[in-house]
Amino acid sequence: MKILKLSKHWLVLIALVVGVGVGLLIQQTDAQARIPVKMAEVSGTAQVQDTGGVKGVQIGDKVLQLGGKDVGDFTAWESLLAGQSPGGTLNLTLQREGVDDFSVPVKVEMSPDSTRARWIAPFDFIASLFMKLLKMLIVPLILTSIISGVVSVGDPSALGRIGLKTMAYYFMTSLLAIVVGLAVVNVFHPGIGAELNLTSSVGEKDFGHADASDIVLDMVPENIFGSLSSNSTILQVIFFSILFGFFITKLSGPGGGLLKQLFESGFEVMMKMAEFILKFIPIAVVALIARVVGKTGMDVFEDLLVFMGCVALAIAIHFCITLPLILRFVGRINPLSWAKAMWPAIITAFSTSSSSATLPVTMRTVKESGRASDTVSSFSLPLGATVNMDGTALYECMGVIFLAQYYSGVGPNPFELTLGIQTYVVLTALLASVGAAGIPSAGLVMMITILQALKLPTEAAFLLLAVDRPLDMLRTATNVWSDTTCAAVVSRSEGATGLAGALGDERDGEKGGDAPPPGG
């Protein structure tokens, strides 16, 4: 059973290839079968089913004269579409008496009793099961992660000047990462016109015209038990958890310690549960990919590759420009020397896709190779592993906007991607990155919550899960890189000398200096 010894990313890569192979095989099972088509609902007057007065339908350069027949019953129509991949969308040009030609999108659907659909069913089942398991984790994971995180930060003995600087640094860098992601996704528009072949349509949306005050109001729960029972009110859960955690630290007597322990243990249990479920990712990836490829072919990957390229670009900008600039000008540290010293942590993050699993290596690397302050590292690194996720924040924002761009161009009820929505996504991406656990694919699980809050179909996130691993490796490496830069910058601001790459304190020698005591 040597295969089990392969590291997770190799397993996921193999799963991806197997999934594609299985999907292509499934596609062959009834490639020539008659594929029923269903008219997309077209708003306004262009209802295709209402064929009165429609003279002909044009697909590519072929024109079908329809006479007065019902389009849906027209067999020539169906045989014309037989070679088309189900799941795809065709633009038909209709000619109607007395009106200019007009186009309508037509969805090519698979017959539920076709051989292909029957082959896809078991993969559909596995993929849906896995997704339900992931969704099951969301509320308890966030609740326990945030409460235990806030309790440890809010602890008066831990919070001092170092605590404040660390929190400010984490907040700022995550926000900068999101801004970079937002800029890239708005410049390249990877989602506009993408052919992702997602079938579910946008739900009733109520953020289209929301202004800032609505967004804030929406974050405050009316009834926390109501909020806890839905994945789409996760911001309310986060809001409540922050307050709850903070006031735990205000308790005097044994109750505070007890609650702290309770939520910390709860978080540990949830992490273990998540790790267990996430062990099945390779199987889920086979199922997800086989399902997509079996249904709609390989076209979807072209657009996903463009999206992945955009994410990689944004991450590269944050990793190679933004954070090094902060290191250089705020921390007065040579970024290259610091990166060289941090390499073991970055590589471990990259290959495990888990900030939490990398934490011991990060601690050792920052303290021993980076020679950062002990006090600062011991406080900021464990906190950063769950709270500071620049790569994740950037990804959440880009992923949601990518899908929103896609949904803004499909269906009878397209999504309106307004400035208000973009602002909302920035805010939620920031909070979601704080709430995400430092384990593989946690960022994607959190993305489901933002999609739900925007009433966008979560099916879309499942498509991203299929290609999540390489992006997860990149964003985890960025998360850990950012944690280490924080330790360096805050150490320097506290007067530590002798850090790897520190500029301007050569005369002090390689002291490996710890900071003067925190809090002044």
The minimum distance between CB 392 and ligand ASP, in angstroms, equals 3
The minimum distance between CB 13 and ligand ASP, in angstroms, equals 17
Instruction: Read off the tokens for 410.
Output: 């499909």
Residue 389 interacts with ligand ASP (CB under 6 A): yes or no: yes
The minimum distance between CB 356 and ligand ASP, in angstroms, equals 6
The minimum distance between CB 357 and ligand ASP, in angstroms, equals 8
**How many of the other CB atoms lie within 10 Å of CB of 365?**
25
Residue 234 interacts with ligand ASP (CB under 6 A): yes or no: no
Residue 176 interacts with ligand ASP (CB under 6 A): yes or no: no
Residue 476 interacts with ligand ASP (CB under 6 A): yes or no: yes
Residue 355 interacts with ligand ASP (CB under 6 A): yes or no: yes
Q: Which stretch binds ligand ASP (CB under 6 A): 63-71, 88-96, 432-440, 504-512?
A: 432-440
Residue 392 interacts with ligand ASP (CB under 6 A): yes or no: yes
Nearer to ligand ASP, 440 or 501 (CB): 440
Nearer to ligand ASP, 23 or 443 (CB): 443
Q: What stretch of H or E contains 344?
A: helix 335-352
How far, CA to CA in Å, does 65 sit from each of 57, 260, 347? 7, 73, 62
Residue 483 interacts with ligand ASP (CB under 6 A): yes or no: no
Nearer to ligand ASP, 472 or 494 (CB): 472
Instruction: Read off the tokens for 304.
Output: 């996903």
The minimum distance between CB 132 and ligand ASP, in angstroms, equals 19
Please state the three-class secondary structure of 132-148 as a single string. Answer: HHHHHHHHHHHHHHHHH
DSSP string computed for 194-231: ------S-------TT--HHHHHHHHS-S-HHHHHT-G
Residue 384 interacts with ligand ASP (CB under 6 A): yes or no: no
Residue with tokens 């996903």: 304
Residue 173 interacts with ligand ASP (CB under 6 A): yes or no: no
What residues pair up with 65 in beta bridges, in sequence order?
A: 56
Round to whole Å and give the CA distance between 348 and 358: 6
Instruction: Read off the tokens for 277.
Output: 């479920």
Please state the three-class secondary structure of 51-115 as a single string. Answer: CCCEEEEEECCEEEECCCCCHHHCHHHHHHHCCCCCCCEEEEEEEECCEEEEEEEEEECCCCCCH
Backbone angles phi, psi at 332, to 5 degrees: 50, 55
End-to-end, the C-alpha distance of the chain in Å comes to 57
Nearer to ligand ASP, 108 or 445 (CB): 445
Q: Using CB under 6 A, which residues numbered 433 to 452 contact ligand ASP?
A: 436, 438-443
How far, CA to CA in Å, does 168 sit from each of 162, 171, 371, 394? 10, 5, 22, 18
Nearer to ligand ASP, 16 or 248 (CB): 16
Nearer to ligand ASP, 410 or 461 (CB): 461
The minimum distance between CB 55 and ligand ASP, in angstroms, equals 54
Nearer to ligand ASP, 22 or 444 (CB): 444
The minimum distance between CB 30 and ligand ASP, in angstroms, equals 37
Nearer to ligand ASP, 85 or 441 (CB): 441
Instruction: Read off the tokens for 412.
Output: 């009878």
The minimum distance between CB 399 and ligand ASP, in angstroms, equals 10
Strand order in the sheet with 54-59: 37-39, 99-108, 89-96, 54-59, 62-65
Q: Which residue is nearest to ligand ASP (CB)?
A: 443
Q: What stretch of H or E contains 442?
A: helix 442-453
The minimum distance between CB 152 and ligand ASP, in angstroms, equals 18
The minimum distance between CB 385 and ligand ASP, in angstroms, equals 7
**Binding-site size, ligand ASP (CB under 6 A):** 16
- 475, 493, 496, 514: residue in contact with ligand ASP (rule CB under 6 A): 475
Residue 353 interacts with ligand ASP (CB under 6 A): yes or no: yes
Chain residues binding ligand ASP by CB under 6 A are 353-355, 389, 392, 436, 438-443, 472, 475-476, 479
